[in-house]
């Protein structure tokens, strides 16, 4: 029977790595997913980024056991001739299997219910404070509470986007639309599009959209070469404007985070009204319309324009804590260029992530994402299980001499600012010329 099997080499598999000709290997069996890419629930980006190679670890990370049976219809009849499993991957797969047998992927402990109930109570308090109270300080408190509400709601959207947090797919989609589109104004379709790409290509400067913030931020001098974003399909130009803004990014980081939510609104509209294939486009647009109905109406109920401005800015500023947290998890970690490699899944996740250490009573505040490495390794694992599996992940990292970095919130901020400052100083180096800019030259005449 073994002699009757048909084989392809890894080099031959690599040739099938583009739209219209997209093959992958899972546990040494080769599958043609060309036609399936557009229907893939996680979008076509993860498949395109990993095309032409063995993707077993990524498949295990993202799919429950029930997904294996769907692979058969894509089987090409070929096996990967030089299929090998590294020691790290073997241990990772064993760990994932053990977690599955223990039922950890299914034990969600009603976290979503409690969080949504908490969000609902906060929303009612905000409505009461704005509509019934006349005190400026009461309104300011409501703005802060609204920011906290958006943070907690985003965590529900994140969780439901990664795995089934409700009893059915329909309820899960409802949780996404309510917590994401309706309450925060950020499309879950946009989030899935970018977030799946981020997970698959964690900290790749040309494949991970979460690192691509030119012209405002750059975490590495490699961005100064005007790299091409494989996610956005365009060149990220390092021009004179980029040089100027990045040169001061360690000072502008927190102010920009305070208004960063505006960019998320813009990105949502750009995707929903683009020509791209967007799953559930109509539902996403409807959810966004809900947000842009209740939020402006709520703000309009405040007595004057100065107070309205303070209310919006305060709510955005509180939510910026979450935006900062997402940056802390990756900005100061290692980066690399090029596509992700299916054969070093575990290594790439440990290299590109930082955990934030905190007491267990603060887990609700960080939404479980302080265990960033654990989440990246096991994205379907409910947040209530991340602290429990952390010691096992630490031991596995020690066994294979891989980094496990867990910093306090303050220390993680220091690392991030230091990374931004290093890149800023490199951007100021005028021996690396870009297009002439009179404003830049005037400011930097004396060094």
Q: What is the pLDDT of residue 442?
A: 45
Question: What are the residues whose beta carbons fall under 8 Å from the beta carbon of 1, sequence distance 6 or more?
Answer: none
Cα-Cα-Cα-Cα dihedral sign, residues 184, 187, 188, 194: negative
Q: How many angstroms separate the CA atoms of 277 and 6, rounded?
A: 36
Q: How many angstroms separate the CA atoms of 365 and 147, rounded?
A: 12
Q: How many angstroms separate the CA atoms of 261 and 264, rounded?
A: 5
Third-level CATH fold of 2-84: Flavocytochrome B2; Chain A, domain 1 (3.10.120)
Question: What are the residues whose beta carbons fall under 8 Å from the beta carbon of 123, sequence distance 6 or more?
Answer: 149, 183
Q: How many angstroms separate the CA atoms of 435 and 369, rounded?
A: 40
Q: How many angstroms separate the CA atoms of 178 and 201, rounded?
A: 28
Q: Where are the domains of the chain?
A: 2-84, 111-340
Q: How many angstroms separate the CA atoms of 397 and 428, rounded?
A: 37
How do the pLDDT tens digits run along the chain, 447 residues long?
455 789 899 899 999 998 889 999 999 999 999 998 888 888 888 899 999 999 999 999 998 888 888 899 999 999 998 888 999 999 999 999 999 999 999 888 788 888 989 999 999 999 999 999 999 999 999 999 999 999 999 999 898 888 767 667 777 888 889 999 999 999 999 999 999 999 999 999 999 999 999 999 999 999 999 999 999 999 999 999 999 999 999 999 999 999 999 999 999 999 999 998 898 899 999 999 999 999 999 999 999 999 999 999 999 999 999 999 999 999 999 999 998 887 788 999 999 999 999 999 999 999 999 999 999 999 999 999 999 999 999 999 999 999 999 999 999 999 999 999 999 999 998 556 554 444 444 444 443
């Amino acid at each position: 029977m073994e002699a009757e099997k048909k084989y392809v080499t890894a080099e031959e598999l690599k040739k099938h790595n583009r739209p219209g000709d997209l093959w992958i290997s899972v546990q040494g069996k080769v599958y043609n997913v060309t036609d399936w890419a557009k229907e893939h629930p996680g979008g076509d980006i993860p498949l395109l980024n990993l095309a032409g190679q063995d993707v077993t670890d990524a498949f295990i990370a993202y799919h429950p056991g029930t997904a294996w049976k769907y692979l058969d219809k894509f089987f090409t009849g070929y096996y990967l001739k030089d299929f090998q499993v590294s020691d790290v991957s073997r241990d990772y797969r064993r760990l994932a299997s053990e977690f599955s047998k223990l039922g950890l992927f299914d034990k969600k402990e009603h976290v979503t219910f409690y969080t949504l109930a908490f969000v609902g109570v906060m929303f009612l308090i905000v409505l009461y404070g704005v509509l019934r109270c006349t005190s400026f300080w009461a309104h300011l408190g409501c703005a802060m509470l609204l920011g906290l509400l958006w943070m907690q709601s985003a965590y529900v959207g994140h969780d439901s986007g990664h795995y089934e947090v409700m009893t059915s797919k329909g309820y899960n989609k409802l949780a996404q639309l309510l917590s994401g589109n309706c309450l925060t104004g950020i499309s879950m379709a946009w989030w899935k599009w970018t977030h799946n790409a981020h997970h698959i290509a964690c900290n790749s400067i040309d494949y991970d959209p979460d690192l691509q913030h030119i012209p405002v931020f750059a975490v590495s001098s490699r961005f100064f070469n005007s790299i091409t974003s494989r996610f956005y399909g365009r060149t990220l130009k390092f021009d004179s404007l980029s040089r100027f803004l990045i040169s001061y990014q360690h000072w502008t980081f927190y102010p920009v985070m305070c208004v960063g939510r505006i960019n998320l609104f813009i990105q949502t509209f750009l995707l929903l009204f683009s020509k791209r294939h967007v799953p559930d486009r109509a539902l996403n647009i409807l959810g966004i319309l809900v947000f842009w109905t209740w939020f402006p109406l709520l703000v309009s109920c405040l007595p004057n324009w100065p107070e309205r401005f303070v209310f919006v800015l305060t709510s955005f500023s509180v939510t910026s804590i979450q935006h900062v947290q997402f940056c802390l998890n990756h900005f100061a970690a290692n980066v690399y260029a090029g596509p992700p490699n299916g054969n070093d899944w575990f290594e790439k996740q440990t290299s590109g992530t930082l955990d934030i250490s905190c007491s267990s009573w603060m887990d609700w505040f960080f939404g479980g994402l302080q265990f960033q490495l654990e989440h990246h390794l096991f994205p379907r694992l409910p947040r209530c299980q991340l602290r429990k599996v952390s010691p096992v992940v630490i031991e596995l990292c020690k066994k294979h001499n891989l980094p496990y970095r867990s910093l306090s919130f303050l220390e993680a901020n220091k690392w991030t600012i230091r990374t931004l400052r290093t890149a800023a100083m490199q951007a100021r180096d005028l021996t690396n010329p870009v297009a002439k800019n009179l404003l830049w030259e005037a400011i930097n005449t004396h060094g």
